[in-house]
Amino acid sequence: MTERDDDFELRSLLGMRGRLGWVFQLGLAATITLYTTPSFDHVPLAQFAVAMVAMLGAGAMVVRLPGDPLPWPATVVVIAAGPLAVLATHLNFAADVARQPWAVFAASYALAVLAVRGRIAAAWAGAATVAATLGFVGFVLDISVGSLSVSIIALASLAGATISALILRPTQRSLRLLHDDAAMRAAAAASMAAEHSERTRQLSRLDELARPMLERIARGVELTPVDREQCRLLEAELRDGLRAPQLVTDQLNAAARGARSRGVEVLLLDDGGFTGVAATVRERVLDLAVRELDAANSGSVTIRVLPVGRRNVVTILASAPGGDRRTEIGRDGEVLVST
């Protein structure tokens, strides 16, 4: 579950996370302890400890575990804790002592929080299980469980939690939709800002590289063969900036311009493979590319950044009359040269 989803759990909206979550946890633990303690003097210590551990563990799970609704394994544990506590606090009861189903109250609070955590049907199934356990104790084992109305009253907390959860669900969905809408607007604004920044950068680069030559052409100055060669090299350099923006640096531009002026066909391509790659690997790629371009005097040099997910990041293919040389750079910076 993502952090965004956690922010819109009902436990978050009700202050059951972070520091307030610990306060809520302590309050729930204190309530469970108060309702379970009356059985301390009437059952063996081991049984009392089982009831306390079961209910306190269920209370901790239902508050602290992430995920809305609560994951099923934890839900099953919370449901099972109630019947276990009821059995532990009624069997081997001291003689001539009126038994009261105080453990039912403790279980009802844990089930109420379970309903808030999105398991309403499971919470009521847990209540039915607790009631069935009381019936088993009272009718099958013939053990008096005191007034059964006490257990009915205990369900009031579960009923209140169920109604609150049902009322808050639409509010939760509305908040999530508003958050999603705000996130989409923020993403659109960030995208527009990035596009504007890139457009400004490209225009600035175009102005720096092409303005002098464009002004000469606009004045009607006759271009010499040297000027036409400069136009060819300039056009190729501008095209590199569009095809392979992650490869364009001042040093590589100079090396590519020099290779082209010597008659080498240079092709730069960028399919996005630098995403998620260490900066040192990119620096190594640029250094190898500059060396290959500086060494080329004829033929062609193709430098391609491969798509994301490939084993290699970049391939450099140098073709010359004397043979071809292929250089592959892996995502870890490993270099493999083959001829």
Per-residue pLDDT tens over the stretch 18-76: 787 788 889 999 999 998 888 887 788 898 999 999 999 999 999 888 877 889 999 99
Question: What confidence tens digit (pLDDT) does each residue in 79-129 have?
Answer: 999 999 988 888 876 655 656 678 888 999 999 999 988 899 999 999 999
The band of 5, judged by pLDDT with boundaries at 50, 70 and 90, is very low
Contacts of 145 (CB under 8 A, 6+ apart): 90, 99, 100, 101, 134, 137, 138, 151
How far from 224 is each of 206, 221, 235, 285, CA to CA, in Å? 22, 9, 16, 37
Among residues of the chain, what percentage have pLDDT more than 70?
88
Residue 47 CB neighbours (<10 A)? 19
pLDDT score recorded for residue 326: 92
Contacts of 81 (CB under 8 A, 6+ apart): 54, 55, 57, 58, 107, 110
The yes-or-no verdict on residue 3 having pLDDT over 50 is no
Question: What confidence tens digit (pLDDT) does each residue in 132-147 have?
Answer: 888 888 777 766 665 5
Question: What confidence tens digit (pLDDT) does each residue in 233-253 have?
Answer: 888 888 888 788 888 888 998
pLDDT score recorded for residue 121: 93
Q: Is 0.75 surpassed by the pTM of this model?
A: no
Residues linked to residue 249 through DSSP beta bridges, in sequence order = none
Residues in the chain: 339
Question: What confidence tens digit (pLDDT) does each residue in 256-306 have?
Answer: 989 998 989 999 999 888 888 888 998 999 999 999 999 999 999 999 999
CA-wise closest residue to 322 among 290, 291, 295: 295
pLDDT score recorded for residue 318: 92
CB 244 within 8 A of CB 273: no
Q: At what angle do helices 18-36 and 45-64 cross, to 10 degrees?
A: 160
What is the helix, strand, coil percentage profile of the chain, to 5? 65, 10, 25
